[in-house]
Chain A
């Protein structure tokens, strides 16, 4: 190793500071959830659990939670199908415009959310509207699926880069048809990557607000409920509780995605961000 002792100490220091920076705000919001007072002032004078039951009894919160889960499930299902198909195509074939696919898959998360949101809203109102569609769960899912595709795609394609094409050839040589090869050879190798991509996609959808504001109509997902309630001072304590819940709820799938992506006995060099495990 080339790092001098001093460098290592400095690196450790930098790491510690950055970690503190990352976790401080999460900690603060977690603490405020136990704040007895309605006003958000530091330091917290009195701690209490009372807002937890208030939040749980809030019907709007429960409805929003239900909608968020449904939307995340729907978006994840679509993203799994589309992301897997696209990654299979890109990993196995070279064709004109292959590069463009990577580009197109990334675009929905790279382009400003407000542009995506506004565009989808315009389409829903002016094109789907006359056809009888209206805002609701389905439009939320469509919006979410569009940018969830990239997480599934990236996870699956990274796994495929490490797969041995020879296994599939062997399967074909042994008389398996395309479907059987996929079912018994390809899919088992991709399973954990799919699961990881699916979990991340769930987390991404569960948290999304920037685009959802434009696609949800009068329905409220949990993040939208939080956004709307931020301007209602009397309800901020409930927001704090919900915020804490949302943090915990989105962190759990990520934790499992981690374990899965690293599993399957495949030790690999790290890559990427949009995969569960760099």
Chain B
């Protein structure tokens, strides 16, 4: 029997739920706080430090110059607004692409088809991000499949452009949008839709007044990914375009101007946290 020590410890713990809670929470919390939040704090501190103009190394004197530079130089504002616009456009495109397939999976397909479709959507989600971005680079290039298709029609498409990047991002994050919407739609009880029909609601009215509001938290949940992941990416922009985005600027200046990079990093951090807070209010976390 394990009774001896184990039993006593167990009884001891049983009487102290707080202690049990802390035993459970302690390790994960310590990890997240020390490793993750700790690192973030280290980085954010750097935003208030100075750099040596010759070596580019950090000097530990407090300064607000980095924020001043970010605020006063138009290029940072341009890049930030360009990136946020891109994130918004990618989100919209993903919602538009995701809704039909999610709806079909949730409400039309037979259980068997549905299962197949879930797997079909999930598998590419986990396929390598870099490989997918690289694939788009070959597809969008002048000698790639897009221009090969358009060429006979007398058309050309400059794939290494903002539009090409938009397409790439839309592709990369699409499964992140499909799955929450699918889950959200499936949770809507059939009876609700029948009731709406019984009360004379036409398909469109039912869709607009019943389905959309109920699916909205799921859309927001999906948008956490499409929006936040676009905001901070630096690899896909580098592979596809020459245009600067928040991620690429931070990546490029980090070596020689880490404090400025850290100060600029506040932009996506603030935007993402604000987005998450709004998403939580909209009950989107339960749909994750």
Give A contacts to B, CB under 8 Å. 1-4, 7-8, 10-15, 18-19, 21-26, 28-29, 32, 39-43, 78, 81-83, 85-86, 88-89, 93, 95, 99, 101-108, 110-116, 118-120, 122-123, 126-127, 142, 145-146, 149, 154, 172, 177-180, 200, 203-204, 207, 209-210, 223, 226-227, 230, 239, 243, 246-247, 250-251, 253-255, 258, 262, 269-274, 277-278
Instruction: Judge whether A146 and B31 touch: CB under 8 Å.
Output: yes
Instruction: Judge whether B138 and A32 touch: CB under 8 Å.
Output: yes
**When A21-B174, A42-B143, A119-B40 are in contact, do A207 and B126 touch as well, CB less than 8 Å?**
yes
A74 to B279, alpha carbons, bound, how many Å? 32
In the complex, chain B residues whose CB is within 8 Å of the CB of A254: 122-123, 125-126
Q: Which of B33, B36, B123, B178 has the most CB of A within 10 A?
A: B36
**When A1-B107, A10-B100, A118-B265 are in contact, do A40 and B224 touch as well, CB less than 8 Å?**
no
In the complex, chain B residues whose CB is within 8 Å of the CB of A7: 203
A179 to B14, alpha carbons, bound, how many Å? 11
Number of A-B contacts defined by CB within 8 Å:
310
Instruction: Judge whether B276 and A106 touch: CB under 8 Å.
Output: yes
Number of residues in B with C-beta < 8 Å to the partner? Answer: 114
Instruction: Judge whether B43 and A95 touch: CB under 8 Å.
Output: no
Q: Which of B39, B174, B268 has the most CB of A within 10 A?
A: B39
A40 to B131, alpha carbons, bound, how many Å? 15
1/0 per residue, CB under 8 A from A, across B179-210: the answer is: 11011001100100110110000010010000
Provide the main secondary structure of the chain B interface. Answer: helix
Instruction: Judge whether A114 and B2 touch: CB under 8 Å.
Output: no
Ordered by A's residue number, 23 sampled pairs between the chains whose C-beta atoms are within 8 Å are A11-B100, A15-B101, A15-B105, A21-B174, A29-B134, A41-B143, A81-B27, A82-B27, A85-B25, A99-B280, A103-B285, A113-B247, A115-B232, A118-B254, A119-B39, A146-B31, A178-B13, A207-B127, A239-B134, A243-B135, A246-B128, A247-B128, A258-B118
Supplied contacts A85-B25, A111-B269, A209-B128, 16 more A-B pairs, CB within 8 Å: A11-B104, A28-B139, A101-B25, A101-B29, A110-B276, A113-B234, A115-B43, A119-B39, A120-B35, A146-B35, A177-B9, A207-B130, A230-B239, A243-B134, A269-B186, A273-B183
1/0 per residue, CB under 8 A from A, across B86-117: the answer is: 00000000000111110111011000000101
Measured between C-beta atoms, what is the minimum distance from A108 to chain B in Å? Answer: 6
Instruction: Judge whether A22 and B129 touch: CB under 8 Å.
Output: no
